[in-house]
């Protein structure tokens, strides 16, 4: 199974994350699953001429493109010409190459939130007219249109994240190599459900503090980061705290709020990423599936029942008071 990887409007961070995979030899893992890397901008040793020949062969169908991976947003500007990103040595816009290759690919994978939804490149006034492959933010469409289907009959497979967890990419590729990924395995935004059927909140090491609404006031505090420091782990579809990064840890483990980077539009929250906007002291962004009245009632009850140990540890950078068993006389 041939894999071709293209990059467009982005930082390359998803590739950097992927190359840090904890699977051992990443390319041996791919090879053992029958995946041959035709070309990747960061790891291929092909000369410029050989690289261009690969592109032409894939675009014309002389070489089968089983999996087309695209990293980075699609730059449609100026005025729909795509000439903000010309593929070096070809004189042709990257969006033209992507369209040609996507038509022939068995599967098309958007690697990262930029390729999926537009991401940071599409933020602000969006002067490059950046978008995702099949979404423009949360709106269906993007470069290829909402009706696009690859030769397999699947829509764009959006492995969203900024960056993506390396395992999300590798497991998606291995599932495709085994023909084990079906339309029912994708969520409403085309993301693989093996990692988006969970929330970042699940497995968070700060969950006891969340349960009692014992909140951190600064990043090195141990308490919950939701109430004051902008954490959106209760709203973000991902398994970041169940599938550690780099062998252990996550954003919230490191004292940084979850910024909901797997979701469309995360790049423009309307406030600082490290700030929780509130109305009458109540956070605007509440946990998914929870009515506001329930949250307010439960939060008040939880705070009134907070153990002194939890309250004291929440605003400290280390354990001040450890749990102790009360021995009755």
- Contact criterion met (CB below 8 Å) for 62 and 101: no
Q: What is the structure's pLDDT at 228?
A: 94
SS3 state at 193: helix
Q: Are 243 and 251 in contact (CB under 8 A)?
A: no
Give pLDDT, residue 291: 75
Section 314-321 average pLDDT: 92
Handedness of CA 111, 116, 119, 121 (dihedral sign): positive
Report the percentage of the chain scoring pLDDT > 70.
99
Categorize the per-residue pLDDT at 43 as very low, low, confident or very high, splitting at 50, 70 and 90.
very high
Q: Tell me the percentage of the chain whose pLDDT exceeds 90.
A: 82
The percent helix, strand, coil of the chain (3-state, each to 5) is: 30, 15, 55
User: Mean pLDDT in the chain?
Assistant: 93
With a cut of 90, say whether residue 302 has pLDDT above it.
no
Q: Which pLDDT belongs to residue 29? A: 92
State the average pLDDT over residues 306-325: 89
Predicted pLDDT at 289: 75
> How far, in Å, CA of 44 to CA of 15, rounded?
13
pLDDT value, residue 325: 78
Which CATH fold would you assign to the domain 2-196? Rossmann fold (3.40.50)
Range 198-321 classified under CATH 1.10.287.3510: no
pLDDT category of residue 229 using cuts at 50, 70 and 90: very high
Nearest C-alpha neighbor of 14 from the set 42, 38, 39, 34 = 42
pLDDT one-digit tens code per residue, 208-224: 999 999 999 999 999 99
Name the CA radius of gyration of the chain, rounded: 22
Confidence of residue 96 (pLDDT cuts 50, 70, 90): very high
Q: Residue 75's pLDDT is what? A: 98
pLDDT, tens digit (0-9, with 9 covering 90-100), for 140-154: 999 999 999 999 999
Could you tell me if 195 and 236 are in contact, meaning their C-beta atoms sit under 8 angstroms apart? no
Half-sphere exposure of 94 (CA within 13 A, CB side): 22
Please say if the pLDDT value at position 328 is more than 80. Answer: no
| Domain boundaries along the sequence of the chain | 2-196, 198-321
Mean pLDDT across the stretch 18-26? 83
Rounded Cα–Cα distance for residues 134 and 141 (Å): 5
- Which carries the bigger pLDDT value, residue 21 or residue 137? 137
């Amino acid at each position: 199974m041939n894999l071709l990887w293209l990059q467009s409007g982005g930082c390359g961070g998803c590739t950097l994350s992927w190359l840090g995979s904890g699977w051992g030899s990443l390319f041996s893992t791919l090879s053992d699953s029958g995946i041959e890397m035709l070309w990747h901008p960061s790891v291929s040793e092909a000369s410029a001429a050989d690289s261009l020949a690969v592109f032409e062969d894939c675009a014309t169908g002389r070489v089968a493109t089983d999996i087309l991976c695209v990293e980075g947003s699609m730059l449609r500007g100026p005025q729909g010409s795509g000439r903000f990103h010309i593929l070096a040595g070809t004189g042709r816009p990257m969006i033209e190459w992507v369209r040609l290759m996507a038509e022939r690919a068995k599967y098309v994978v958007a690697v990262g939130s930029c390729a999926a939804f537009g991401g940071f490149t599409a933020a602000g006034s969006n002067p490059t007219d950046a978008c995702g492959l099949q979404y423009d933010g949360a709106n269906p469409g993007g470069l290829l249109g909402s009706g696009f289907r690859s030769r397999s009959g699947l829509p764009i497979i959006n492995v969203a994240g900024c960056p993506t967890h390396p395992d999300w990419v590798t497991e998606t590729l291995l599932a495709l190599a085994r023909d084990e990924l079906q339309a029912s395995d994708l969520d409403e935004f085309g993301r693989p459900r093996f990692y988006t059927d969970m929330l970042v909140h699940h497995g968070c090491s700060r969950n006891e503090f969340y349960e009692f609404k014992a909140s951190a006031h600064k990043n090195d505090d141990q308490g919950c980061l939701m109430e004051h420091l902008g954490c959106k782990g209760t709203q973000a579809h991902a398994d970041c705290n169940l599938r550690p990064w780099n062998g252990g840890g996550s954003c919230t483990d490191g004292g940084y709020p979850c910024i909901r980077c797997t979701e469309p539009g995360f790049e423009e929250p309307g406030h600082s990423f490290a700030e929780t906007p509130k109305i009458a002291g109540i956070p605007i962004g509440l946990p998914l599936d929870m009515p506001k009245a329930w949250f307010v009632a439960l939060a008040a009850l939880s705070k009134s029942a907070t153990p002194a140990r939890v309250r004291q540890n929440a605003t400290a950078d280390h354990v001040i008071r450890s749990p102790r068993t009360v021995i009755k006389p």
